[in-house]
Each structure stands twice: as structure tokens, then as C-alpha cells.
């Protein structure tokens, strides 16, 4: 890439910060899984010593039978928890993949070829300015004016421009700004892509499964001492309750969604202006696309995927599901979206709406950032490149 070294360093530091933030938000679940794993290892290694220390040999027959009963109940509960969370992760990842495929496949050729030339040339010019190969450009079959960057399962990068964008009164300079912005998201690595179960939004459930598996395995292989078994169960229960409280808290869900759909438009705008050297055109493009977005009630992909658009459309209560086509509406309109947090879809839905509402208010912040860039202050790039 042809960006100056300070800009590339800024991008790398941003990626590292994102990785640290993801590790931080998952830390309670990682800690709980590690505690359960340590309990299992200690129980296996010190089985005999534990049996003597907790007086398992002196327990009455009914106490040993009670211990066995507790172990069986714990095993059944673990199977229910693991299978429930496992199925939910599977269903949620399948649903997320369906949304991705809908987003990518909702394309059209029913446009005048010349109407796309302006954006195709803008994308090629931005790629030359960034010193990289130009991604492909497709036209998304949606009447709302917008654009988004994506990457297919095969690793092919592309930029989708809606049919509404082609029909809008977008100048050449504004088209250059939009495509440079989307190219910047590909450079940063914050674009629409196929979800996998190891994504951060699924990790809490996976770590809960690991925690439950280790904890119950430790109980099952523990000595026949009701005191030791109850001690293990108490530790596991305290950790589990703490994780559930964290899991369903709005603060945690907001942070998790923010990291799961990481999208820094301030950084992308700044990189785009590095390519085009035209912050005024970027400001004009943002204002124009936002005004057009407010006139439409349809969003490509629907729900949280709308965050990846050039301008996030405004959200309204009761307007959580918005689809790019009637076919998509028929497919998903009557279905409840699976959640990785199982029984807490209420808090999750509220948090999702709040994330989108905050994102839709980002326009003003982006315009301020561009004003500062015009003054020589590149705050999204840590102000390294004052000009």
C-alpha cells in the first residue's frame, strides 16, 4: 500500500487495540473457563489427597449415595446447558450467514451500464491511490442510496453500490469520496464478511460451554466426598451466576455488539481523504447520502448489517427488521432471530437498537472530523500527519 508509514502504523495500532478490547470483554468468561479447567486438573492429580483431606472414606453410606445423586444431577444439567448453548450458537451462526448471503446476493444487472461507470472508475482510482488491486464492484438491488464493502467466503473483496446510489445526483468528486471510504474499510479489515463460530459475538457462549464442561467433568471425577463435591458445585454456581449477570447486562451486550461489528467511520474517512485529498467532497457525500437515507425505509441486509453502510440509516422502534426485497421479507419477516445469549433476546434486541441509533448519529461526528482534517488535525490517525 502507498500510505505513508505513520498511517500504516496507525492502522496497525488500531487493529491491536481492537484485539485487546475483544480480549478484555471476553476476560470474565475466559477466567471462569480457566478456573473450571484448573479444578479439573487439581481433582485428577490430587484425587487421593483430596479424598483423605475431605474425609470421603468416613462418609456414611447415605452421604456417598447423595454424592452420587448430586453428580448425576450435575451431569444432566450440564448436558442440557451444553446442548442448549451449542444449538443456539449453531442456529445463530447459520442465521448470521443467511443475512450475509442475502446482503451479498441481493444484486441486480437492471441498471444502465453508464450509470455505474462513475463509481467503477472512482473505485479503480481509489485503489491506485491506495497502492492496491481494485476490488470488484457490484450493484445491490435496493432503492436506498448507499454503499458497503464486503468480502466473500473465497476471500474476494468487493464494494456494493445500491441501485438508488446510481440514480442519485452524486457528483464525480462525491463518488470518489464514497468509494475511497469503502476501500478504506477493506484496508482496515472492517467490512461485511461471512460469519464463523469463532467470531467474538459467539465466543461468550463457546466459553460458557467450555466452563460447564470442565466444571461438571471435575465434579464427576471427584472423590466420593460430599463436602468436596459441594465445594466444587458452589464455586461453579457462583461463577455461573456472575457470568449470566454479565451476559444479560446491557453494557456488556453493547460492547460485544460494537466489537462484533467493529466499524470506525472516522478512521475510514481519514484514510479516504488521504487517498482523494478532498475532504470537502467527503462532507458533501455524507450529507447527501444521509438525506437520501432518511427518505427510505429499506436497508440492504437489515438489522445490524446496516451499520456497515456508508451512512447508517436512522432507526425507529418497531423497525428492527428491514429488508432489501419482498423475497427477503417473506423469508425472515415472521422468524425470531436466534441469539447467542440464549434466553436474553429482550436485552439483546434493545442493545442492538441502541447500537444502531448511536451509529446513525455518527454523521455529525464525521463532519466535525473532516472539518478538523481541513484544519490539518488528523485525530483519527493520532494527529501524526499535521499538514
Q: How many structural domains compose the chain?
A: 1
Per-residue pLDDT of the chain (387 residues), as tens digits, is 678 888 999 999 999 999 999 999 999 999 999 999 999 999 999 888 887 777 666 667 777 788 888 888 888 888 888 888 888 888 878 877 877 887 788 888 888 878 899 999 999 999 999 999 999 999 988 888 899 999 988 889 999 998 889 999 999 999 999 999 999 999 999 999 888 888 998 899 899 999 999 999 998 888 888 888 889 999 999 999 999 889 888 888 888 888 888 889 999 999 999 999 999 999 999 999 998 877 765 554 455 677 888 998 766 543 333 434 444 444 444 444 444 444 445 666 677 777 777 777 788 899 999 999 999 899 888 654 444
Contact 328, 106 (CB under 8 A): yes
Residue 337 has what pLDDT? 44
pLDDT confidence of residue 100: 82
C-alpha cell at 118: 462513475
Q: Which pLDDT belongs to residue 340?
A: 45
Q: Does 328 fall in a domain? A: no
* pLDDT for the residue numbered 320: 35
Residue at 357 is within a domain: no
CA separation, residue 141 to residues 277, 284, 291, 298, 350 (Å): 31, 24, 19, 11, 29
User: Measuring CA to CA, which residue among 217, 196, 198 is closest to residue 207?
Assistant: 198
With beta carbons less than 8 A apart as the criterion, state whether 177 and 165 touch: no
Is residue 151 within a helix (H) or strand (E), and if so which, with residue range? strand 147-151
Domain annotation covers residue 158 = no
Classify residue 187: in a domain, yes or no: no
Residue 59, pLDDT score: 65
The pLDDT of residue 312 is 83
| Alpha carbons 89 and 174: distance in angstroms, whole number | 41
Which three-class secondary structure state does DSSP give residue 231? Answer: helix
Residue 132 located in a structural domain: no
Count of alpha carbons within 13 angstroms of residue 278, beta-carbon side: 19
Give the per-residue pLDDT at 34: 97
Q: Is residue 304 part of a domain?
A: no
C-alpha grid cell for residue 295? 427518505
Q: Which domain holds residue 205?
A: 5-99+198-249
Q: Is residue 152 part of a domain?
A: no
Dihedral sign (CA 104, 257, 328, 286): negative
Q: Provide the pLDDT for residue 276.
A: 96
- 311 within domain boundaries: no
Half-sphere exposure of residue 229, counting CA atoms within 13 Å on the CB side? 25
Q: How many CB atoms lie within 10 A of CB 138?
A: 18
What pLDDT is stored for residue 56 in this prediction? 63
Query: Which of these, 293, 338, 337, lies nearest to 315 by C-alpha position?
Result: 293
Amino acid at each position: 500500500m502507498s500510505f505513508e508509514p505513520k498511517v500504516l502504523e496507525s492502522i496497525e495500532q488500531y487493529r491491536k487495540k481492537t484485539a485487546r478490547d475483544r480480549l478484555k470483554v471476553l476476560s470474565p468468561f475466559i477466567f471462569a473457563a480457566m478456573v473450571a479447567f484448573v479444578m479439573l486438573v487439581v481433582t485428577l492429580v490430587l484425587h487421593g489427597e483430596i479424598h483423605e483431606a475431605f474425609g470421603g472414606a468416613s462418609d456414611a453410606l447415605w452421604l456417598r449415595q447423595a454424592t452420587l445423586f448430586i453428580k448425576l444431577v450435575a451431569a444432566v444439567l450440564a448436558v442440557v446447558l451444553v446442548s442448549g448453548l451449542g444449538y443456539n450458537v449453531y442456529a445463530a451462526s447459520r442465521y448470521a450467514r443467511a443475512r450475509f448471503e442475502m446482503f451479498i446476493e441481493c444484486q441486480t444487472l437492471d441498471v444502465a451500464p453508464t450509470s455505474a461507470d462513475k463509481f467503477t472508475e472512482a473505485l479503480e482510482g481509489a485503489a491506485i491511490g491506495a497502492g492496491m488491486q481494485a476490488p470488484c464492484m457490484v450493484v445491490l438491488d435496493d432503492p436506498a442510496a448507499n454503499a458497503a464493502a464486503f468480502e466473500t467466503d473465497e476471500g474476494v473483496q468487493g464494494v456494493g453500490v445500491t441501485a438508488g446510489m446510481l440514480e442519485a445526483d452524486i457528483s464525480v468528486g462525491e463518488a470518489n469520496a464514497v468509494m475511497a471510504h469503502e476501500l478504506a474499510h477493506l484496508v482496515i479489515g472492517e467490512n461485511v464478511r461471512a460469519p464463523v463460530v469463532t467470531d467474538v459475538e459467539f465466543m461468550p457462549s463457546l466459553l460458557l460451554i467450555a466452563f460447564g464442561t470442565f466444571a461438571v467433568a471435575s465434579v464427576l471425577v471427584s472423590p466420593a466426598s460430599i463436602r468436596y463435591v459441594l465445594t466444587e458445585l458452589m464455586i461453579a454456581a457462583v461463577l455461573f451466576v456472575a457470568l449470566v449477570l454479565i451476559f444479560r447486562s446491557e453494557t456488556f451486550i453493547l460492547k460485544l455488539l460494537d466489537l462484533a461489528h467493529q466499524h470506525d467511520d472516522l478512521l475510514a474517512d481519514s484514510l479516504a481523504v488521504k487517498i482523494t485529498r478532498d475532504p470537502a467532497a467527503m462532507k458533501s457525500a455524507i450529507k447527501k447520502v444521509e438525506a437520501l437515507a432518511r427518505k427510505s425505509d429499506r436497508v440492504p441486509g437489515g438489522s445490524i448489517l446496516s451499520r456497515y453502510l456508508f451512512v447508517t440509516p436512522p432507526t425507529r422502534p418497531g423497525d428492527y427488521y428491514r429488508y432489501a426485497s419482498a423475497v427477503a421479507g417473506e423469508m425472515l419477516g415472521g422468524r425470531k432471530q436466534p441469539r447467542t445469549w440464549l434466553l436474553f433476546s429482550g436485552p439483546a434486541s434493545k442493545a442492538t437498537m441502541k447500537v444502531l441509533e448511536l451509529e446513525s448519529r455518527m454523521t455529525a461526528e464525521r463532519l466535525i472530523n473532516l472539518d478538523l482534517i481541513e484544519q490539518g488535525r488528523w485525530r483519527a490517525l493520532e494527529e501524526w500527519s499535521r499538514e
